[in-house]
Chain A
């Protein structure tokens, strides 16, 4: 392997900070005025340092990243401040200097690995192109180096990249390729904008690991942008919290996580359920939404939403104040070095266990769904997607069951089978004692009001051409629950106030609402017919953490008030744990472990559950980085489906394990339950 040029080979740059940003201001020119997306951001990144930028969507973190690389186009414009890269003024660079600088000294990795690669070019040339175009190496040498780079990024059999196209790679593999391209020229600085947001949690763990290694082994400075404090905590030593275009707090990551000094960071830290939060606890959420970027309030921008507000906050805009050695916060409350109080230990135990003799509301036995795929050629073999491969579940009335798993494990298909959007290929499906597996649409119609669904994407689940009042009145009128439009209006107002929407918004259309508000409309629509069971397919995964906390709290309240049962589909273990009585872990279309939520997540018996939990980036958590990716659902593996990735797989695993009851109420599909624990392995913290 060729010796890598060291990051800081140029002696003149040693010791200089890699990146100095001073009072950066970026605006978007719109018809209604200049929107200040980044408004006076300053920070410094030293050689080999890791800085995380965190904030909700719209806080300006991505625009900051794009400004750093000068990748913005009209109508966005940098109107003030300076960016210095190893002493060079980035804002004064000519286009040719910029071209040489980008990708050579500073590189960027984007969020979506699906669109980051050119679909008509093979993988390898896309990597070596960057090496050749910056004159680092030529031809064959560059290709060898690119293969080497791909291998270091953990791309399986990198030689294959010479003949493969991007669509043949999975999302995780593509993000590795993007990283290989990013670091191919051994840049001093890598900017990663939400690099793992589109990936599954076990793949995310692999990529975060890779970022840590880059920083440790090559001394690459990293600016990591994410909405997820856990992700930042896993990689970055320092953190900058952004709100409404400003940095509101900057400090060491551990200090922010344990003792946030700005109320907004406080809200972010406490809005996220952690795996050790007691079940049934309401999350801390702050009301309101970020200020209008066109006319920010004269005082503190967080003031209107702040639970700790004092009189001064409305009048004067706080500067970044040094509140403790090495940490700054933009807040009058903590300016004198005060701590913010811990959130109140909220009402735990709102769950009441279902009555002993509760009847099963939903029962499936050996539920199977296979999708025949379109043949690729006339003589081609008919391929079948094995989405769900035999699910047995029982959901008691008043209970809430969580189903977790990585993407492609069949959990969304399961939700659509249960609500009979799909017809099962085999198996039985009973709702309230009635077999509905093959019921016709007309037979389903009278049952529909009792069985409702909340969808994942708040932008796609509401008809854009209907007002909220029409959306909510439609099911009432269709099922004859109300006699006329006037009665419907009364009920619509009732529903809207139940989910925390203002009644005067009834005439608005979906595009006038934020994501969280749309999800509230979605929930109100599902509740309009007073269902017994609500199937929720990832209802909060598209929302910001604070909004997520609001929606989860709402769903918890409604459950208690309306005696609902939930089938809650999610990929986020902490959310499931705080929300559900029981949880089932799904892998390749089957349940591998099922039981009371607290037991399953704190004393997991199946190796996959152990790995899944340990992959959640929470600082200090013991972790196992699971190698490989879930197998394809086109050809089911023989024996235990998890065998290929299992750290404790043995010969006996060639026999498929049944989902057997190992303790009262706990079922595991493993020959050696409990034989694998995460104890004694490395922890989530990359820099010492």
Chain B
């Protein structure tokens, strides 16, 4: 029976590294590309848009997509293409600031709670639970309405509902790190708690936090667009995807007014989600053995 083994000479080559990576991370690369394009668009919007985003021209209202206006014009005759490009600035800015600030606040709260234990742990975590027990959109809506319409206020309102999930994750991760021997070793070496938290616990929680941050960016952009759609996000006439969809929602004939900003939201959210999935797989220790 050895013959069967000898007959087929063993192939000692795995599929190439790039092919395996592509199969594994293909969607993530695509997602990252979409996100990159949107970031580039946001940065260069003032120079790339064919029309000023807020230039009203009622004589050119509700024009269908053409070579002049690639994505048509809205009720006030503003160029949809230019407004979609400008909208990327606001959406990305809101998404990043909410998620990054929320993560910073939440993680700090969580790590401090895990380290302090006892009273402060209970106090901080019950506060977290308190915020989490409201439906996030409704709570953000209420706070944003109370603060008044405006980008900064909406971001503040979103921050209030955004930090708790990071506090939960941060606490869970810090609790795991706390019982690690190298943290015990740092205690035995007589290091100060601030140093242990900053040098030993925080750096080792960043991996899973990065996953949540990437996955959450799409979510935050979607929520911001949702609040704007409801009329809370931005002060008109600022170009913003959510409010653009809102403006076009009753125009059935002129489908382009609502569709293109909608597609923009879709593409950036899906892009961030694929990205986050990729980061998660990449940081999964089991992934590397395959």
Contact = CB atoms under 8 A, between A and B. Distances in A.
Tell me if chain B binds chain A: yes
B190 A421 contact: no
A419 B184 CA distance: 10
Contacts of A447: 190
Interface string B194-215: 0100011001100000000000
Interface stretch (A266-274, A381-389, A448-456): A448-456
B190 A449 contact: yes
B12 A29 contact: yes
Interface residues of A, number: 44
22 contacts: A27-B12, A31-B17, A79-B10, A79-B12, A80-B10, A91-B5, A421-B184, A445-B192, A448-B188, A448-B189, A452-B189, A455-B181, A455-B184, A455-B185, A462-B182, A463-B186, A463-B203, A463-B204, A474-B186, A475-B190, A478-B192, A522-B185
Contact of A92 (B1, B181, B199): B1
A29 B14 contact: yes
Chain B interface extent, by class = 20 to 34
B187 interface: yes
Contacts of A451: 188
Interface in A509-545: 522, 525, 529
B206 to A, nearest CB: 9
8 smallest beta-carbon distances between A and B, as pairs: A448-B190, A89-B1, A461-B181, A79-B10, A92-B1, A475-B189, A455-B181, A460-B181
A441 interface: yes
A451 B189 CA distance: 8
A92 B17 CA distance: 31
A82 interface: yes
Contacts of B17: 31
A34 B14 CA distance: 9
B180 interface: yes
Contacts of B203: 463, 465
Given A82-B1, A453-B185, A478-B195, 5 more contacts: A419-B188, A421-B187, A456-B181, A474-B189, A522-B185
Contacts of B184: 416, 421, 453, 455, 461
A102 interface: no
B180 A460 contact: yes
Interface in B55-105: none
Interface in B1-33: 1-2, 4-5, 10, 12-14, 17
A514 to B, nearest CB: 18
A452 B188 CA distance: 6
A662 interface: no
B181 A29 contact: no
B199 A474 contact: yes
B204 A464 contact: yes
A453 to B, nearest CB: 5
Given A455-B184, A463-B200, A466-B199, A75 B189 contact: no
Nearest to B290: A75
Contacts of A419: 188
B17 to A, nearest CB: 5
B46 interface: no
Interface in A474-493: 474-475, 478-479
Interface in A64-115: 75, 77, 79-82, 89, 91-92
A259 interface: no
A159 interface: no
Contacts of A478: 189-192, 195
A82 B190 contact: no
Nearest to B203: A465
Given A34-B12, A444-B190, A465-B204, A525 B185 contact: yes
A465 B206 CA distance: 11
B73 to A, nearest CB: 53
B193 interface: yes
B182 A91 contact: no
B175 to A, nearest CB: 14
